[in-house]
Structure 1
Amino acid sequence: MRIKQKFNHDWYYIDNFKEEYTNKDSEMDRFCPVLLPHANKELPYSYFDEKEYQFISCYKKDFTIEKDAKGKTIFIEFEGVMAACEVYVNGKYVGEHRGGYVPAVFDITPFVQYESKNTMVVKVDSREREDIPPFGNVIDYLTFGGIYRDVYLYILDTIHINNVFYNYKIKDDKIILEPIVYITSNEEKDIEIVLSLDNKEFSWNVTVQKGKEQELILNSIEITNIEMWDIKNPVRYSACMILKHQGKTLDNYETKLGFRNIQIDETGFHLNGRKIKLRGLNRHQSFPYVGYAMPKRVQQKDADILKYELGLNIVRTSHYPQSPYFLDRCDEIGLLVLEEIPGWQHISKREDWRNCVLSDVEKMIARDRNHPAIIMWGVRINESGDDHELYTRTNALARKLDPTRPTTGIRCICNSEFLEDVYAMNDFIYDGGETVLRSQQQVTGLNHKVPYIVTEYNGHMFPTKRFDNEHRLIEHAMRHAIIQNEAGLRNEIMGAIGWCAFDYNTHCDFGSGDRICYHGVMDMFRIPKWASYVYLSQVSPKEKLVLQPLSHWTIGDRNQGGVSPLIVLTNCDHIEIKVEGKSLGKYYPDDNFRGLEHPPITVDFQFGEWGVGWGDLELLGYVNDEIAITRKFAKNPYLSRIDVKADDTLLYNDEMDATRIVCKLVDQYGNILPYLNEVLYLETQGDIEIIGPKTVATMGGCIGFWIKTTGKKANTEATVTIRCDRCKEENIKIQLRSMK
């Protein structure tokens, strides 16, 4: 039977590497204990040198393999190590892996000893090496170092499953399933393969050959009474592929499946026969201080934010394969995914670099092709020029590995060679002028329509900080609204994915000089800018009510004073405005935004003159002629309290677990005070730690931070305390429990 164990505990780390470290009995007194996932260097929020994490480091771990594992196959799997690693067991070299975004798997069977101490050493090279994509030129993002995803130990029978691809078609309301099983065996043997799916069992008798991995395409089966996976009803089924010999179970391989019918053509994107306009944003998987090294819960939360706090139906994993936890959560909640290989503009002539691109394609698709949320494979280096030889090979490989999904390739040049199934363009033409998006024909140069999607817009064209002035925040939001509106009106565009969801750290060649690109509709702490409400306001009011004015409601914040025009992002049918309790009328969606399901409402009125006075504002949102939501804004806002919210108050402490806490300095109506920057003092009690500094300053009236568990397993309670010189302290209780 398959044994799969997390291998994250009891590692030791040092920020350099010497050959002597590979010796089994070398001293560990200079190493410090760490719990994975781990960043090789904790960084400041901004204004740091990216070279600080670009070095070679070393991880060591002692472990024991019981004697009943003798005769079995033992693997170690690293889900993500940036950017290359070498593995040693008991002083002997096992192998090397290049590439920081796809799994590194090593067979350590010949190197382990049983019932005695084994020592594993991992040499981690986090430099930007020219033999590994995305490196070789400048890159507009950082590739943070360390063993930053989970590690697993596998103990398997000598006949075992390496992977399963559930290839299927839908015909007459039936699933025609043709599983492909990848098996390794140390001998020729007749075995039975059993699939357990939806309380049904199917079996095949096959003969496996001795030697390397073999691909077994099983005879197709029909499955009926299956509920379709959909963005509004993401139904999944548990599938278990079992190997048996003479009635004895040799191996079992579990997968979550969702069945859906996607059609992508020149008319757009269709899911289960329903045309859907794709509306999304790009996501970098990075976080303040620790870069990529965030555990399961935090990865899942990002998917939740994209779906529920931004109202998106698709995310692009820019510019690399992302955490399996993130993708699993997209499956669970019905968030579509465009996943792509690592890269940024540069194509190397080096053969080893180009072979690494093909390896990335293969490993990305082999890992992720059973995810129902993934609808396209990006098999072209982001924004690169044409390369017929390389991209002919990446497309052919992708279609061989997964004939069920279209390929695409993200470009920023027009009239590019079209080798993929979907033409994808980063269209940054809009600069506030008349041209919002190019026509498909302008981009493709073709005389016929093809499947076409816009995969980036805005971003560097109008970088905006959450604490910028009101004028800039308004224009930032409206640029997103204008482009989404245009995409909604164009039948030739299947959708538009904006740049981007969250601000991110970047190289000195980009951004605002502080190592940050402020391109997100949320900041790095996932706190919304006004532009985020352009997306959230498109959800049905039955799901979530949105009523967000693009104003801080101050008389002197804009040029010449006042708040006219007052733009309100909402999914209400109409709104009413009251000032000092007096109604100024009802206002309705803007006809200029017919490409949006819920257009913004523009109120062009003059209220308040400089030196005459001001008044409290009340917004009332109506749905079906009834008041559904209200918001109030003070004429004389003052600091009332710290509003503190944790994403979660129950954490698992038998592994690294983490959650975000957001602190807002709010007025008497609960609104953020946007120009208040106060120092907060963060403290913890119990088996939790603050990620990053324990003294922080709010930015634009708020700040976020993450706490993490320490790996101690006792059931207990912890406390986070937030203090501010001007407010009453706030405390949050965190329950710590074991997952088992």
Structure 2
Amino acid sequence: MISNNKRLINNNWWFKQKEDKEYNEVNLPHTNVELPYNYFDEKSYQIITNYKRDIYVENKEKRVFIQFDGVMTSFNFYVNDKFAGEYKGGYTPKFIEITKLINYGEKNSIYLEVDSSEREDIPPFGHVIDYLTYGGVYRDVYLYEVSQCFIENAFYDYKVSDIKNGHVELTPKVLINNKGEAGEYLLNFTLKHKDNSEEKINFTQVVEVEKASKWYYLEEIPLENIKLWDIENPNLYEVKLELFLGKEAKENCKLDESTETLGFRHLKIEGKGLYINGNKVKIRGLNRHQAFPYSGYAMPARAQRKDAEILKFELGLNTVRSSHYPASPYFLNRCDEIGLLVLEEIPGWQHVSSDEAWRNQVLDDVESMILRDFNHPSIITWGVRINESGDDDELYTKTNDLARRLDASRPTSGIRCYENSHLLEDIYTMNDFIHDGGEQVLRTRKQVTGLDKEVPYLVTEFCGHIFPTKRFDNEERLVEHALRHGRVQSESAKSQEHLGAIGWCAFDYNTHFDFGSGDRICYHGVMDMFRIPKFASYIYSSQKEPSQGVVLGPLTYWTRGERNKGEVFPIYICTNCDSVEVVLEGKTVWIFRRDENTLDNKLSGLKYPPIKIEASSGEWGYSWNEVEFKGFLDNKQVAVKKYSKNPVLKDLSVTIDDKCLKGEEVDTTRVVVKAVDQCENLLPFISGFISVETEGDINVVGPKQVALIGGCIGFWIKTKGKLSNKTAKINIKSSFGIEKTLEVELVK
């Protein structure tokens, strides 16, 4: 539902596991079991739990709905001890009308029985899957009080007829839910740019509304001088849609209103490439799981938005795949705002069931995904095939037909992992893991598709399980991990037959015992679960334009004993600088420019290939030197990275993503603690731990005492949903005797 007549009811819930006698007070989003970081039994959260809360509704003229944005995996819902509805799926909203069960002006009890087990009648289950589906009410819950006739949904379909002059034909399609009188109703549109421009566009239309829930196609609205949305200029507009009884927009006749954010862009995908507003875009992306340590899926808006920012601004990506399920609305909203393209797909992993209920659920997932996310300009394709599943023409003909019927403006895609699959979608998408360090980096389009004709072709996974790499692995493995990502992205960039490549994956994630490293973690990310970078992240971040941030990332710890034979060179410098100066013991020894002498041919397709430093590090047993790598742009020094010849612990580097949080709802932010030497470099093999205590209305997510992993660790703090003080403190003590304190501001 998109009506503005709603309120968030995330606070003041009561929760218990089925066998418990007592309830505990909780706020949402909530995970049913707070898990360890690793080495846990995934069965521990696959349980039955109960949630309850009281609600109050005063106005007897209102219809009342509850919206659950995400409950894993299924539930039965009761109001005042009477059955109100059920849900299966976990990733898309469920709207339930409870009008007839409400006692107006009195306390009403709402109750959920949540089943978080892996039920074989619900995708992605039925076989093994390489990710966890943590239990609980892990997204928002809303209470709607609406008129007898209200706006249930709206698709703002459009065509860009003139890219240069911003001419757009907007054709809204509005779902009106009416249990009031049939007759004439007025819809009023107001459109304005989200930069707070005073210029507005208004449009009204009278519609004959039946007594039912029905879609209404409205007249074409011509728009001129529209600022189009793209990845560099993500222009957004706000549209307010008002519903009035009768033919006039009288305030006392207003029944409902909704406010949506829109972006207008011309999208074309063909065999030759992806074009946005006529400009060719080569996809460079990573897959993302929405999993976090300890809390699983149950992380609030700020954490979801931050992930999008990490992908776009830290890693310099232009695309993310929401593997393997619809993403958080907050994540998608932020993708819209910052210009990050999205491939969104239905839940699933390899297995396709013959069970009719399971297959019907797949169709429900396609429909609910598109109904929820149609208006996001960042979404460029719908993934309507179970990830890496075999051909099932009967099922996938239906999913494609359904997606095209609901949304003719976007192409469909379907991810597979084998050659010569039947192409029922508009884009042939393939998980190509051919590169194992050898000569072949990517398959050709014809090799994969088996087709002689030119079709759009996108690589949706690579690397991953072929070369899992822990952030605390030895340097040689970390370097090779980075180079493999670089080689594939380079080959993709050079290819005229690939739309691009989306690597597996952005962040490490918890998984079942069937996969991962035996500790319930897949170390496939270019960052770890705390979003702390591995070397491979520098391959991506260094592709940013220098104007978006200078990057100088040497793929080395600068220590003679870390690589085989005591060697240090070659060193790859991931940078968007023009040249790198190497300074040993204060003296300039070499200057390396990005040219044919410093390029690895397999990385040459990157816009800013790493500069490869080939030199002598001296023989084993000779004295060691400190080094500085200085980055230059247009003969001007813009960055420096210095390494000590004798690193020792100097300090704890403590950073926090946000110092101001909302106190009256569950809000969160991340803290990263690093043990650093006298050059402020991470000490990757130091052992030790930190203890975290909080003051005020905040808590630590997970344990309060944690060991450093690879010299550092991250944790999240979250607010308690109340605001008794305007400040809170995070006190960090370490086994090294170093203490740090952070102060956080809490606001309404």
Relative to the length of structure 2, the TM-score reads 0.96
Secondary structure, aligned partner of 2:172? strand
Indicate yes or no: 2:205 matched with 1:204: yes
Whole-Å Cα distance in 1 between the matches of residues 471 and 121 of structure 2?
38
Q: Distance in 2 between matches of 1:622 and 1:40?
A: 51
**Deviation of the 1:715 alpha carbon:** 4.3
**How far apart in 2 are the matches of 1:389 and 1:454?**
25
Aligned partner of residue 479 in structure 2, secondary structure: helix
Shift of 1:449: 1.3
Partner of 1:160: 150
> Which residue matches 2:365?
360
- Does the 8 Å contact 1:17/1:58 carry over to 2? no
Partner of 1:6: 8
C-alpha separation in 2, matches of 1:205 and 1:607: 79
Aligned to 1:126: 116
Question: Following the alignment from structure 1 to structure 2, what is the Cα–Cα distance between the partners of residues 31 and 6?
Answer: 22
CA distance in 1, matches of 2:667, 2:134: 20
Could you list the runs of 5+ residues in structure 1 that have no partner in the other structure?
Answer: 19-28
Helix, strand or coil at the partner of 1:531: helix
Deviation of 1:2 (Å): 4.7
Give the alignment of 1:10-29 within 5 angstroms: 10-16=12-18
Aligned-pair distance for 1:3?
1.9
Match of residue 53, structure 1, among 42, 45, 57: 45
Give the Cα–Cα distance (whole angstroms) in 1 for the partners of residues 160 and 4 of structure 2.
32
| 2:236 aligned residue | 236
Are 1:508 and 2:495 counterparts? no
| Offset of residue 581 of structure 1 | 1.2
Question: Can you list the C-alpha shifts for 1:358-384, whole angstroms capped at 9, x where unaligned?
Answer: 000000001001001000100000000
Distance 1:433 1:611 in 2: 34
**What residue is the counterpart of 2:221 in the other structure?**
221
- Which residue is equivalent to 1:183? 176
Whichever residue aligns with residue 174 of structure 1, its letter is: H
Residues in 2 aligned to 1:256 and 1:553: alpha-carbon distance in whole angstroms: 49
Q: State the SS of the aligned residue for 1:263.
A: strand
Which amino acid in structure 2 is aligned with residue 534 of structure 1? I
Q: Could you tell me how far apart the structure 2 residues matched to 1:556 and 1:130 are?
A: 51
Residue 245 of structure 2 corresponds to which residue in structure 1? 245
Write the distance in 2 (CA, Å) between the matches of 1:716 and 1:166: 41
Say whether the 8 Å CA contact 2:5–2:256 is kept in structure 1. Answer: no
Match of 1:81 among 23, 48, 71: 71
Secondary structure, counterpart of 2:565 in structure 1: coil
Contact 1:640 1:727 in 2 (8 A): no
8 Å CA contact 1:642–1:727 kept in 2: the answer is no
Please, which of 470, 477, 480 is the counterpart of residue 475 of structure 2?
470
Any idea what SS the aligned residue of 2:564 has?
coil
**What aligned pairs does 1:579-728 form with structure 2 within 5 A after superposition?**
579-589=584-594, 590=599, 592=601, 593-728=603-738
The CA deviation at 1:728 is 2.3
8 Å contact kept, 2:697–2:725: no
8 Å CA contact 1:641–1:727 kept in 2: the answer is no
3-state SS of 1:386 partner? coil
Q: C-alpha deviations, 1:571-596, integer Å up to 9, x for none?
A: 11111111111212111231613210
Counterpart-to-counterpart distance in 2, 1:433 and 1:479: 10
Question: Structure 1 residue 567: deviation in Å?
Answer: 1.1
Letter in 2 for 1:48: F
Partners in 1 of 2:178 and 2:209 — Cα distance? 7
What is the rounded CA distance, in whole Å, between the counterparts of 2:364 and 2:600 in structure 1? 50
Give the aligned partner of residue 167 of structure 2.
Answer: 174
The code of the aligned residue for 1:131 comes to D
For 2:243, give the aligned amino acid: L
Residue 136 (structure 2) aligns with: 146
CA distance in structure 1 between the aligned counterparts of 2:434 and 2:600, rounded to whole angstroms? 24
Q: What whole-Å deviation, never above 9, does each CA across 1:84-121 have from its counterpart, x for those lacking one? A: 01100001000111001011111011101011110000
How many angstroms does 1:17 deviate by? 6.6
Deviation at 1:712, TM superposition (A): 1.0
Displacement of 1:232 after TM fit? 1.0
SS of 1:169's equivalent?
strand
> Matched residue of 2:313: which SS?
helix
Q: Deviations over 1:460-489 (max 9, x none)?
A: 000000000011001000000111111011
Per-residue CA deviation, residues 202-258 of structure 1 (Å, 9 max, x unaligned), is 0111110012x1010001010111101111111111101111114311110110001
Say whether 1:40 aligns with 2:32. Answer: yes
Do the aligned residues in 1 keep the contact of 2:697 with 2:723 (CA within 8 Å)? no
State the partner residue of 2:195: none
Correspondent of 2:564 among 556, 559, 567: 559
Aligned equivalent of 1:21: none
Of all paired residues, the percent bearing the same amino acid is 54
How many angstroms apart in 1 are the aligned matches of 2:455 and 2:737? 58
**Mapped pair 1:397 → 2:417:** no
Which letter does structure 2 place at the counterpart of 1:243? L
Q: CA deviation at 1:609?
A: 2.1
Q: Specify which of 438, 441, 444 is matched with residue 443 of structure 2.
A: 438
Shift of 1:608: 2.6
CA distance in 2, matches of 1:594, 1:241: 50
Residue 544 of structure 1 pairs with residue 541 of structure 2: no
Alpha carbons 2:267, 2:277 under 8 Å: kept: yes
Letter in 2 for 1:109: T
Give the alignment's Cα RMSD to 1 decimal.
1.0
In structure 2, give the amino acid aligned to 1:485.
Answer: S
Question: Which of 494, 497, 503 does residue 502 from structure 2 map onto?
Answer: 497
Q: SS where residue 542 of structure 1 aligns?
A: helix
TM-score normalised over the length of structure 1: 0.97
What CA distance in whole angstroms lies between the structure 2 residues aligned with 1:719 and 1:700? Answer: 26
**Counterpart position of 1:350:** 355
Q: Does 2:300 align with 1:298?
A: no
Within the candidate set 455, 463, 480, 1:458 is matched to 463
Amino acid at match of 1:134: P
Q: Which amino acid aligns with 2:564?
A: N
